[in-house]
Amino acid sequence: MRIVLTADRLIGSGGAIDQPVLVIEDGLIASISSRAESELPSGAQPLHYPGATLAPSYLDVHIHGSAGRDVMEATPDALNTVSRFLAAHGTARYLATTVTAPVDDTLRALSGIARHIAAQPAGGQARILGIHFEGPFISPHRRGVHPPEHIQLPGIALFDRMFDAAEGHARLMTIAPEQPGALELARHAISRGVRISIGHSNATVAEARAGLAAGAVSATHTFNAMRPFDHREPGIIGVTLTTDTLFAELICDGVHTAPESVRMWWRCKGPQRAILITDAMAAAGMPDGIYRLGSMDVQVKDGKASAGDALAGSLLTLNRGVSNLIAFTGAPLEHALRAASINPASMLGLEGDPDPLAPGQPANLVAVDPAGKLIASIVRGAVVAN
């Protein structure tokens, strides 16, 4: 099928085009031009979004589930359900994110996710790019909702078992750099192609900087599950906010981070290093009730997911994260879009990939209004939300 897509503006990694004309054939981008350069092709299905901006679809590097399903179920039905939900909310790619659990449960989940990645459908839903290990190598003092009995000291042997179970699909690992053995493990994981994010950590400034020196490239959900900031010992938060080269995730839902904290993060990290994530769990898109996060039961009520006194992931979608960022900070639309698409790809080392909006690439796009509200989500040329 041939589709011609038009809007007021297109924003990609190469810049902006006014009055774009984007031709899609068989799910791939065939050409990109402007109304000033070319006429609309005949014989194509028109999709016109007046007043909208087109941009690359979103990439969520930290998500546990949605639509009532958890990625650690690791079944095709569960993962396809999550992938369809994400596609309808503007996310075309994501990292299936594990949570600290019994080792055997984790290995089973990693194996199931790996099998699904190899066989996942080509279009119509979000694609799993790989796996994010959030735990078990975290601080018991900043564990959040992660079960303390399953937290492990950083160890190469256990990591290698997890890496092997993931069958080469491990992309990112959260680690507390102050834990014994963490720096050695970080260097080992990097040597195997896994990116390191510091988080769930009680690290001092010196300990956090040691994690960066070992090769960490990002920080996990800034402010949450981190040693509190102190003006004499700023800790991991101080290092995260003042290290210009470090990427930093944020859950921009107004629950995990107040608007004032979002503004602080945005001013420090800016449009080049800020990464929007959801940290969403199975309850995203669902009514109040009891849902699973790994091996845990989570209570969802009045827009919050909690287990005991701790927040247990979010109910956020990235399209709302983008519009929240604009509302909380006044960020320009193109910068907010970048934080949900280009920046996470750069953090993962995907900047060497072809431009996501270029001829020959999958037609994965969002159409948004000036406030960042999602108007349409297009995955491999198919409109999955409009």
- The closest alpha carbon to 284, from 85, 133, 23, belongs to 85
Provide the pairing of β-strand 218-219 with 195-198: parallel
Q: How many helices (H) and strands (E) does the chain have?
A: 10, 22
Give how far Cα 26 sits from Cα of 23, 327, 362, 363, Å: 10, 37, 9, 9
Give the separation between CA 142 and CA 156, rounded to whole angstroms: 22
Q: What is the DSSP letter of 231?
A: S
- Which helix (H) or strand (E) segment is 160 a member of? helix 156-165
Buried residues in 90-117 as b, exposed as e (16+ CB within 10 A): bbbbbbbbbbbbeeebbbebbebbbbbb
Long-range CB contacts for residues 79-84, cutoff 8 Å, separation at least 24: 79/113, 79/116, 79/120, 79/128, 80/120, 80/121, 80/125, 82/126, 83/120, 83/125, 83/126, 83/127, 83/128, 84/124, 84/125, 84/126, 84/384
54 pairs with which residues across the strands?
10, 367
Tokens read off for 361? 């690439």
Of 244, 279, 288, 297, catalytic: 279
253 among known catalytic residues: no
Q: How far, in Å, are 153, 248, 321 from residue 327 at the CA level?
A: 40, 20, 10
**Contact (Cβ atoms closer than 8 angstroms) between residue 208 and residue 236:** yes
| Catalytic annotation, residues | 279
